[in-house]
Amino acid sequence: MVILVEIVRLSLGTAIQMGLESGEKDPNFTTAFLMTYREEGCDANCAFCPQARDSTPASDRLSRISWPEYDLKRVVENWPESDHFRRICIQTVCYPELVQDVLEIVRKVREISRLPISVAIHPISVEDMQTLKEAGVSTIGIALDASTPSIFEEIKGIHRDTSYRWEDHRQGLSQALNIFGIGNVTTHLIIGLGESEKEAADFIFDMYEMGISVGLFAFTSIKGTSLEDKPPPDLSSYRRIQVVRELVSKGLLQRDQVHQGAEGRISFGIDREIILKALASGTAFQVTGCKGCNRPYYTERPRGPMYNYPRPLTEEEVARAIEETSLVV
């Protein structure tokens, strides 16, 4: 028996852009965010996530964002006609019928839009990845979230009583590369889960050496999750990791040029001028992830601090962000 997907979640911002909710439209909103709907939430149990099995109460949130539910048919009918968005991102919660549901959402959306589609999902079989690709998915994200195997197992894996394992996620990323190709596989890294700056930097090197791009997130505590009392990362420390990501993604920094100093603070053994030139545009401090994605206020509180800017920075903001790195004086 085939059960058709009837309901999806949209991020509140996406729903406003589509006119399904009232609110001020955001000219910087570039990605339509959909999420699979499942009444029971996710079978996985990531300690930071409101959708996790142990999170209370059952929530319509993912990160800081509210994701109300809609009829898929209504979403399709309200899809903006012009090139309002630049990308479609389908977030998923983990459950047995997930791949069929994602496929159906992809097929429905493909009937009305030719925009690139990204899917954020846990490791799935090679056959399922292939099927998603054939249906029109161009980019796949498998979130490791943690910098090291031990943090992963603590936050998402064995110590959370789930089937997620660091090695399986790593293997899933390698398999995804074979199917989707370099430039089309991403992972997420959350800063503030207990890693050192050097561990986060090493993770970024590992991923880029594999051909995987890294979307950075600052840990944000959400009420009702296991980590609701955990503080966000130090802004200066986060800025340095943003710099690592920017330099590594541009091939401007080697692993042995990252030095760990007092209190775990990293510094770089490269010319100050190279760093300043690479940071001048401010892209290091903008949201990172798939091309064209900006996730406004996904982990940022509107009153700040602005860990990831959802738009180009002003000159003043670039200067301030560089100063916050404490790297160049």
Which SS3 state, helix, strand or coil, does residue 299 take?
coil
42 binds ligand SF4 (CB under 6 A): yes
CA dist., res. 62 & res. 300, Å (int): 13
Interaction between residue 187 and ligand SF4 (CB under 6 A): no
Residues in the interface with ligand SF4 (CB under 6 A) total: 10
Which parts of 119-212 fold into alpha helices (H)?
Answer: 126-135, 149-155, 166-180, 197-210
Of residues 26 and 154, the one with the C-beta less far from ligand SF4? 154
> Is residue 46 part of the contact set for ligand SF4 (CB under 6 A)?
yes
Name residues contacting ligand SF4, limited to 77-96 (CB under 6 A).
93-94
49: contact with ligand SF4 by CB under 6 A: yes
Tell the residue number behind the tokens 């594999």, with chain if given: 210
8 A C-beta contact, residue 140 and residue 119: yes
Q: Does 51 contact ligand SF4 by CB under 6 A?
A: yes
Q: Is residue 121 within the footprint of ligand SF4 (CB under 6 A)?
A: no
124 binds ligand SF4 per the rule CB under 6 A: no
**Which CB atom, from 45 or from 187, has the smaller least distance to ligand SF4?**
45
Work out whether 214 is an interface residue with ligand SF4 (CB under 6 A).
no
Pick from 8, 34, 44, 212: which binds ligand SF4 (CB under 6 A)? 44
To the nearest whole angstrom, how small is the minimum distance from the Cβ of residue 138 to ligand SF4? 21
Which helix (DSSP H) or strand (DSSP E) does residue 29 occupy?
Answer: none
Q: Which residues pair with 117 in a beta bridge?
A: 88, 137
Residues 22-48, buried b or exposed e (16+ Cβ, 10 A)? eeeeeeebbbbbbbbbbeebbbbbbbb
Interface residue list for ligand SF4 (CB under 6 A) = 42, 44-46, 49, 51-52, 93-94, 122
